[in-house]
Homo-oligomer: A and B are copies of this chain.
Amino acid sequence: MTSSAEPVSRAERRKQELRREIIDAAFDCFAERGYHATGIADVAARLGIGHGTFYRYFQNKRDIVDHVVDDLVGRITGALTAENAPDAVSTLAEYREQSARIGESLGRIFGEDPRVPRLLLFEAPGIDRAMAERILDLFDLAAGLTSAYLSHGVELGYLRADLDVDNTARAINGMILGTAISSLRMPEAQAAQSEALRRVMYDGIAAT
């Protein structure tokens, strides 16, 4: 098994390394100058390689942005699912803790590097229809997850029985989205935003 997973060494490893570096460099360029404004030559120049070399690793410009997005989406779905199953909690307090944990996790991804939300929310949707659909798919995925958490809470009785889980899930995800976007201009407000979000979510805004 080890031999089949590592068919060759040395040069082969170098290739995978460069491939990764190209993806990272492309991410940098796309996030900084925007997808349409960066040329393949820019990406190659950043690595000090000839731009012809780029085409030995990726089909074309459109191809690589897909890989860049794959990477980011992977990171996010990882944060969303890692060590956080919907049915791992059984009380409101635990649920609150879990949502704080997930929120912190997302906050780290979005807040630490604003280029991530910028690329995902501001650049990607304008590339073409297919990419826009990918982003919408990501939203749907997130909505599905949140919805599952809510359903679980309704079943166990610590969330309102009449909760419209699907639409509420989308509303909550919208708040997260709002936080991510705010972090583009006010990265430092991250934590406060996150806290406000949870207050709205659990307590609403009305006076008691």
Contact = CB atoms under 8 A, between A and B. Distances in A.
Interface in A154-177: 157-161, 163-164, 167-168, 170-177
| Number of identical monomers bound together in the oligomeric complex | 2
B168 A196 contact: yes
A175 B171 contact: yes
A123 B126 contact: yes
A199 interface: yes
A208 interface: yes
The A contact surface, by secondary structure, is helix
A206 to B, nearest CB: 5
Interface string A112-126: 000000100111111
Interface of A: 34-37, 92, 118, 121-129, 132, 135-136, 139-140, 143, 150, 153, 157-161, 163-164, 167-168, 170-179, 181-182, 184-185, 189, 192-193, 195-197, 199-208
